[in-house]
Structure 1
Amino acid sequence: MRTLFLFGALALGLSACTVTVRPDSNASVQLQGQRSNLITGLRPDRGEGSTYAVGEAVRFQFSTRVPGYVTLIALQSNGFASVLTQNAYVNAGTTFFPRAEDRVVYNLAEPRGIQRVRAIFTRVRPTTSIVLSGSYDSARWNTATTAYLDPYAQGDRDVQETFLYIR
């Protein structure tokens, strides 16, 4: 039971991490956590999975370990995708989007249902912009993100997604 509790506590404390299990010379097991993710958080202002009415404004809390550039894209329940912000420089820590200098408000509109928001982060300034057009299913949504990130080294990029409901 104690071992189960330990693994449960480690799982909670090391979410979004890589856990490596190595036997030591005394035949016991050592756990080593590695935090390699650049993005540490992305969520709507009311929390992930929260509900908003059509017309309400939403903000997103974005957190990262290092400074870099973030692009936020949204996927509506009908498959329509849009860019919320593109190649915005952020310092390490937490930034709320939209920022005051962006001079925009994210007002939610129909269609009602789930809306996914994806943060794409790079340590270096992107030389291209992500272009979204038409309808997206999960495969096409992932393909667009992957194609945008391909030029960057794996250690210099990260992606995280959150969601909310529009009623």
Structure 2
Amino acid sequence: MNKALLLTALSLGLSACTVSVRPGVTVVSAAQANLIQNFQPSRGEGSSYFVGESVSFRFSSRTAGYLTLVSLDPNGRGNVLQQNIYVPAGTTVLPRPSDRVTFDLTPPRGLQRVRAIFTTVRPTTQIVFSGQYDRGGWNTYTDSYVQGYGPEQRDVYETFFYIR
């Protein structure tokens, strides 16, 4: 049973955690290196919005850094919502009035995924994220963007909502 739990934890990509296995006891604990504490739409993860509405996000981090938001729409089209914006430690609601942008929802209707890519060091490159992606392609593309940073300098967190 312990081997099954360990393999499950590893397959979930829990690279920033500690897995301890002792006879009869298995403990999985998150490492303190996780920079993003929370990221979700203002109505909560899995909530619904109608075409024409605006969505905002609550983003919380342990430290100050730079945030890029990318989305994958129901048809598999990727977009950059905001790029390399400075956010302080704690909670920030995005978009901020000073950003002079809104996230107005348009078709297609369905599941909308949004990723927060956070680094403690200002990125020197711009992410060009436009085109059609399957789930694996989206993972590969966003992962390649953060590979130049050490695990203690980067974090990626995904949330979702529905467009009705």
1:130 aligns with 2:127: yes
TM-score w.r.t. the length of structure 1 is 0.82
1:73 aligned counterpart, secondary structure? strand
Alpha-carbon offset, residue 83 of structure 1: 0.7
Question: If the length of structure 2 is used for normalisation, what is the TM-score?
Answer: 0.84
Question: How far has the Cα of 1:144 moved from its partner?
Answer: 1.1
Give me the whole-angstrom Cα distance separating, in 2, the residues matched to 1:107 and 1:163: 15
Work out the CA distance in 2 between the residues paired with 1:22 and 1:79: 39
Bigger mean CA offset, 138-147 vs 54-63 = 138-147
Q: Among residues 142, 154, 159, which one is paired with 1:157 in the alignment?
A: 154
| Deviation of 1:92 (Å) | 0.6
Q: Which residue of 1 aligns with 2:90?
A: 93
2:15 aligned with 1:21:
no
Aligned residues: 149
Q: Distance in 2 between matches of 1:133 and 1:107?
A: 18
| Secondary structure of 1:85 counterpart | strand
- Shift of residue 32, structure 1, vs aligned partner: 8.1
Find the aligned partners of 1:140 and 1:98 in 2 and give their Cα distance: 26
| TM-aligned CA deviation for residue 31 of structure 1 | 5.5
Q: Which residue of 1 aligns with 2:34?
A: 37
State how far apart, in whole Å, the 2-side matches of 1:138 and 1:22 are: 32
Say yes or no: does 1:57 pair with 2:54.
yes
Larger Rg: 1
Q: Which runs of 4+ in 1 moved over 2 A?
A: 16-23, 27-36
Superposed displacement of residue 57, structure 1: 0.6
Any gaps of 5 or more consecutive residues in structure 1? 1-15
Structure 2 segments unaligned to the other structure (5+ residues):
1-13
Alignment partners' CA distance in 1, 2:56 and 2:150: 29
Call closer, same or farther: CA 1:112–1:90 in 2, change over 3 Å: same
Q: Say whether the 8 Å CA contact 2:80–2:130 is kept in structure 1.
A: no
Please state whether the residue corresponding to 1:106 is helix, strand or coil: coil
